[in-house]
């Protein structure tokens, strides 16, 4: 077994983390630390260069976190909540900041955490770790620093097995292969586990609503769509990969001819981080899809960052998607046409122009096999304590029952 690289805190030891006590659920020290991290991210010029870190800082702001905590306190009023204990977080390699959301909710619930980062590196991760290191080195945050450890190591089963055997809860964020490999490692009999495997997300746009937008409003919609799709190179599970137009195919193509140039203009100014290899991967993916599946039409691309494929019938095709600005596209007229799409693989539906009443009427027709969340376009990457249909507040705490 090789030794993992300890990234945070300096000089940290797993033995000390395991021996540290838990903090109170929703304690003031944790809320104060979150506020300090929010300030550090929003005031750092380096952090502000990365939209993902700006979004994280905004999510951590005191007003937002306290609102989340107060809402949960109201839900569990009168209950005796306790932390789970030591949580082992396995972060994905494709979304640099997800480990902080996971860790912060765990910390707010009073838990200690050991976090395994992917061996992949990025500017965002380096910047985030630098901000965390500076904070955790301060004496006022010693209580927090003693209850977290951030590690980096490759696919070393022995290390993961050791950490799994020591934890009270394991949280796996990653692809199906990583989830299967880690779930094979035993946990203590009293430990619990949450898994967040590969998911696929969809944007649903109403044709009439988009067609009614003037140029300024259309540019704003394109701005929000681009943030959803191009952050993390379209590799976040909640980033839309299939665009569904609500209406007829002719009308869909007409409004798409106006929508996509607006997206392209926004992408030109967006820090998407795509490389030449992404364009090649998309080319291969669309050619294979066109050869292997009928009713597929590869649309001409005017920018390498935006590649579209029209599907004669709506379909969720995760195996034919590589991210990097590739969009499958189709139209539908009745929600019933989409019923076969909603497998458990579908996570987020970001929508525009379809009011809550229409969604509620459709959802009331019967059980839906998939869909974890429905959000406005521009909110697909907003993290929430209920994720993939699982309540993280509840998962990170245990409740002491009481019978009088």
Please report, for the chain, the start and end positions of each structural domain, with discontinuous segments joined by +: 5-198+388-400, 200-376
Q: Are residues 23 and 83 in contact, defined by beta-carbon separation less than 8 angstroms? A: yes
List average pLDDT for each run of 10 residues in the chain, which is 404 residues long.
Answer: 85 85 96 97 92 92 96 92 97 85 97 93 90 96 95 92 96 91 96 94 98 98 96 92 96 97 94 86 93 92 92 94 95 91 94 92 83 95 93 96 82
pLDDT of 273 reads: 81
Residue 312: closest CA among 294, 334, 339: 294
CATH topology for 200-376? Aldehyde Dehydrogenase; Chain A, domain 2 (3.40.309)
Count the alpha carbons within 13 Å of 293 in the hemisphere toward its beta carbon: 22
Query: Does residue 275 come out as left (phi exceeding 0), alpha (psi in the -120 to 50 range) or beta?
Result: beta
Q: Which tokens sit at 362?
A: 């459709």
Beta-bridge partners for 399: 81
Q: Are residues 312 and 267 in contact, defined by beta-carbon separation less than 8 angstroms? A: no
Neighbouring CB atoms inside 10 A of 139's CB total 7
Q: Please, what's the b/e burial string for 372-386 (b: 16 or more CB within 10 A of its CB; e: otherwise)? A: bbbbebbbbbebebe
Q: Which tokens sit at 97?
A: 């900041």
Opening angle at CA 229, ends 261 and 394, nearest 5: 155
Neighbouring CB atoms inside 10 A of 38's CB total 20
Dihedral angle sign, alpha carbons of residues 138, 142, 148, 152:
positive
DSSP codes of every residue in 334-357: SGGGGGGG--TTEEEEEEES--HH
Helices (H), 171-302: 176-183, 207-211, 215-230, 249-268, 276-292
* 268: helix, strand or coil: helix
CATH classification (class only), 5-198+388-400 = alpha beta
The residues near 252 (Cβ < 8 Å, ≥ 6 apart) are 207, 245, 331
* 87: helix, strand or coil: strand
Q: Are residues 264 and 303 in contact, defined by beta-carbon separation less than 8 angstroms? A: yes
pLDDT of 400 reads: 93
Count the alpha carbons within 13 Å of 163 in the hemisphere toward its beta carbon: 31
pLDDT of 26 reads: 96
Count the alpha carbons within 13 Å of 131 in the hemisphere toward its beta carbon: 27
Distance of CA 219 to CAs 95, 210, 213, Å? 26, 11, 9
pLDDT of 1 reads: 60
Q: Are residues 149 and 6 in contact, defined by beta-carbon separation less than 8 angstroms? A: yes
Intra-chain end-to-end CA distance of the chain, in Å: 51
The residues near 257 (Cβ < 8 Å, ≥ 6 apart) are none
pLDDT of 255 reads: 97
pLDDT of 76 reads: 92
Q: Please, what's the b/e burial string for 283-318 (b: 16 or more CB within 10 A of its CB; e: otherwise)? A: bebbeebeeeeeebeeeebeebbbbbbbbeebebbe
């Amino acid at each position: 077994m090789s030794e993992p690289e300890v990234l945070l805190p300096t000089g940290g030891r797993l033995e000390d983390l395991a021996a540290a006590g838990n903090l109170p659920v929703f304690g003031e020290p944790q809320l104060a630390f979150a506020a300090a991290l929010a300030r550090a991210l929003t005031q750092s010029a380096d952090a502000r260069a990365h939209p993902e870190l700006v979004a994280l800082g905004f999510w951590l702001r005191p007003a937002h976190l306290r609102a989340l905590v107060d809402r949960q306190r109201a839900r569990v009023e009168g209950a005796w909540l306790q932390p789970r204990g030591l949580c082992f977080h396995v972060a994905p390699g494709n979304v640099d900041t997800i480990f902080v959301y996971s860790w912060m909710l765990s910390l707010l619930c009073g838990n200690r955490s050991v976090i395994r980062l992917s061996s992949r590196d990025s500017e965002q991760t380096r910047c985030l770790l630098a901000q965390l290191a500076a904070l955790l080195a301060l004496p006022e945050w010693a209580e927090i620093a003693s209850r977290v450890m951030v590690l980096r190591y490759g696919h070393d089963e022995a290390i993961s097995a050791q950490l799994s055997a020591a934890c009270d809860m394991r949280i796996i964020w990653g692809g199906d292969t990583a989830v299967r490999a880690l779930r094979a490692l035993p946990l203590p009999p009293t430990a619990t586990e949450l898994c967040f495997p590969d998911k696929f997300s969809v944007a649903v746009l109403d044709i009439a609503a988009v067609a009614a937008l003037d140029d300024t409003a259309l540019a704003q919609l394109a701005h929000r769509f681009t943030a959803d799709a191009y952050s993390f190179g379209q590799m976040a599970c909640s980033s839309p990969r299939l665009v569904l137009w609500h209406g007829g195919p002719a009308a869909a193509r007409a409004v798409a001819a106006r929508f996509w140039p607006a997206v392209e203009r926004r992408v030109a100014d967006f820090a998407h981080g795509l490389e030449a290899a992404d364009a090649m991967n998309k080319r291969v993916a669309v050619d294979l899809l066109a050869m292997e599946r009928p009713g597929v039409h590869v649309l001409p691309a005017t920018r390498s960052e935006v590649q579209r494929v029209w599907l004669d019938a709506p379909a969720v095709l995760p195996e034919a998607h590589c991210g990097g600005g590739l969009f499958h596209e189709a139209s539908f007229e009745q929600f019933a046409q989409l019923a076969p799409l909603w497998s458990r693989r579908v996570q987020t539906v970001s929508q525009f122009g379809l009011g809550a009443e229409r969604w509620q009427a459709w959802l009331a027709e019967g059980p839906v096999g998939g869909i974890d969340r429905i959000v406005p376009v521009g909110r697909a990457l907003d993290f929430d304590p209920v994720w993939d249909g699982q309540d993280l507040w509840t998962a990170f705490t245990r409740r002491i029952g009481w019978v009088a």
